[in-house]
Structure 1
Amino acid sequence: MLERYELETFLTLAEELHFGRTAERMHVSTARVSQTIKGLERRVGAPLFNRTSRRVELTPIGHRLAEDLQPAQELIAAGFERAVRSARGITGTLRVGFVGAAGGQLLLDAAELLHSREPGCEVLVREVQLDDAVPRLLDGGVEVLLTCFLSEQDDLVTGPALVTEARMLAVPSGHAFADRQSVSVEDLAGVAVLRTPDDLPSSHPPHQTPAEGPAAGSFQEILTLVGAGRGVFLIGAHMRRYYMRPDVAYVPIQDAPPVQWRLMWRTDGATARIHAFATAAHDLVSPDTRLQHHEPETR
């Protein structure tokens, strides 16, 4: 008999392929995850994962087991969620915030889908700026936030990536980088990079220590500073479509990790409405879209 904890541990590791991240998601120690997997392997009679110092991979038996178990877990979760909704009902108003122009449409579509599933639940979609996004989430001004900036605060929960896009560099139109087909992370060493209000890690060049540029409270402020030559900024590829400016050029960064957009909410405010909305947003985005690294259009 497979215990629920064993099922969740195995499927989480099969998804993450990393013992540390699995332990974080399960809120247990890495040793506990390892012990659970070893116990399953003893009962199966064969390895479920190949482990090396650099990577973790499913064995053929492990891959088949994951394929067999995933639908069962989804059915259990869906059945339990239906029971919760039937018992409690999901009603009332949910306030959802987004940062940047592109996020609004996704939230409106998710709100429409949620309302079709839960007619008693209304969703108010509100734009928030960089300098007040997290504060409004913490003080209850919005209950859910769609953002590409992660928070390391323990009182905030970040959901799985909904949309992934290529990372680009916003530079002044007269900058030396502006006419290049692409730049690399190494090119950014010593270049002044504009800061977000909370100096979030995702606004910095990966594996580099950039020169510190001024802080800005919104994307429009950031691009105004970029156009004035006060610094550069790392952004997602969608900015090129939604924030066209004559004084700013957008250049692909060939070796930078992509930008990921996720929902965020307060740990102590995880209501049934929030979970239902997160499910609706997740359902709107197919697996292919969630994992796609969108390439920017050729300039």
Structure 2
Amino acid sequence: MEWHEIETFLTLAEELHFGRTAERLGRSTARVSQIVQVLERRVGVPLFERTSRRVTLTPTGQRLYEDLRPAAEGVTAALARAVADGRGVTGTLRVGFVGAATGQLVARAAERFRRRHADCAVRLREVQVGGAAERLRTEEIDLLFGCLPIDGPDLTTGPPVLSEPRMLAVPAGHRFARRASVAVADLARERLVVAPCSIPAGPRPAGEPGPVAETFQEVLTLIGAGQGVFVAGAHAAAFHARPDVAYVPIHDAPPLLWGPVWRTVRATARVRAFVETARSLP
């Protein structure tokens, strides 16, 4: 298969519309139709079902799409890296971060990065963890620093740059509030606030689900109102101290790891340089 055939097939499989495919590729609708017909003759079976109202993939077309997509993304990523390396570390890098701890870290990294790469601007942006990966996929940001793991078949995770103990945020009057520490097993009797930034305490069962929050500030408000408890990183005690919330160490929970994540196809020289800068921080 020629690259233009692969490109046309994959685009039509995603758009399911000849006109939009032609517009996206900068070709005529007739040319898109011609390329698809040639490809179908080569394969020997239809790849698309066409009616006057809609275009859909046949089972063979769906399988071909699933087989070709990863390979095509690999080729695109390789070309992007080659182009980026040829241009060097220039342009603008958009770095997203989740939480105060990573915000402080990326701010320090950005300052050092600018000294090393004066021709590349850095824009920092706080994002909510619930939609952080989508910000990468929609290319609102180029690089994300968040609580690991942030998984996805199209994402690459770099080495952790920050590690911290897990703590249990409880109401100030809670029976755990004056303890030196708690165990993961203690959470089995507690109502846990549920949020996009929820962090598992460890391998043992946790408590029953409690109220739902959308942001960390909502989490703290619910805790302060006595409606549940929440597992957080140790940085929360420093950055989010409140008179109605107490933070208690969880002595047998594994540490939280924070690090960089980016789209595999967007592993540019800028991204790699910033990740290396963040890793080099003391």
TM-score (norm 2): 0.66
Pairwise CA distance, 1:179: 1.2
Give the equivalent residue in structure 1 for 2:57.
none
For the structure 1 residues 85 and 189, does the alpha-carbon distance in structure 2 shift closer, same or farther, using more than 3 Å as the test? same
**Displacement, 1:152?**
2.6
Identity of aligned residues (%): 51
Equivalent residue, structure 2, for 1:180: 179
Report the equivalent of 1:274: 271
> What is the distance in 2 between the residues matched to 1:281 and 1:224?
32
| SS of corresponding position for 2:275 | helix
Cα distance change on mapping 1:155 and 1:215 into 2, 3 Å: farther
Contact 1:166–1:259 (CA<8 Å) still a contact in 2? yes
**1:248 has 2:245 as partner:** yes
1:237, distance to aligned residue in structure 2 (A): 0.9
| 1:173-222 C-alpha deviation (Å, 9 max, x unpaired) | 1111111111001111132222232x76x334432143112332221111
- For residues 257-268 of structure 1, the aligned pairs below 5 Å read 257-268=254-265
- Return the alpha-carbon distance in structure 2 between the equivalents of residues 95 and 124 of structure 1: 5
Q: Which residue of 1 aligns with 2:205?
A: 208
What's the counterpart of residue 88 of structure 1?
Answer: 87
State how far apart, in whole Å, the 2-side matches of 1:158 and 1:252 are. Answer: 27
Verify the 8 A CA contact 2:169 2:246 in the aligned structure 1. Answer: yes
Q: CA deviation at 1:85?
A: 8.0
Q: What aligned pairs does 1:213-228 form with structure 2 within 5 A after superposition? A: 213-228=210-225
State whether residues 204 and 210 of structure 1, in contact with CA within 8 Å, keep that contact through their aligned partners in structure 2.
Answer: no
Scaled by the length of structure 1, the TM-score of the pair is 0.62
SS in 1 for 2:203: coil
User: Partners of 1:133 and 1:211 in 2: how far apart?
Assistant: 26
Map of 1:40 onto structure 2: none
- The C-alpha deviation readout for 1:83-113, integer Å capped at 9, x for no partner, is 9987431111111111112222211221122
Secondary structure, counterpart of 1:177 in structure 2: coil
The answer as to whether partners of 1:188 and 1:205 remain within 8 angstroms in 2 is no
Q: Secondary structure at the match of 1:136?
A: helix
SS at match of 1:189: helix
Bigger Rg, which one:
2
Structure 2 SS opposite 1:122: strand
User: Are the equivalent residues in 1 in contact too, given 2:166–2:201 (CA < 8 A)?
Assistant: no
* 1:231 equivalent in structure 2: 228
Contact kept in structure 2, 1:130 and 1:219, CA below 8 Å:
no
Secondary structure (helix, strand or coil) at the match of 1:102 reads helix
Q: Which residue of the partner structure matches residue 134 of structure 2?
A: 135
Counterparts in 2 of 1:271 and 1:149: CA distance versus 1, 3 Å: same
| Residues matched between the structures, number | 201
Deviation at 1:235, TM superposition (A): 0.9
The structural deviation recorded for 1:143 is 1.4
Unaligned runs of at least 5 residues, structure 1: 1-82, 286-299
> 1:128, 1:206 → 2: CA distance?
28
Q: Which amino acid aligns with 2:131?
A: D
Instruction: State the superposition RMSD in angstroms.
Output: 2.1
Superposed, 1:39-50 pairs within 5 Å as none
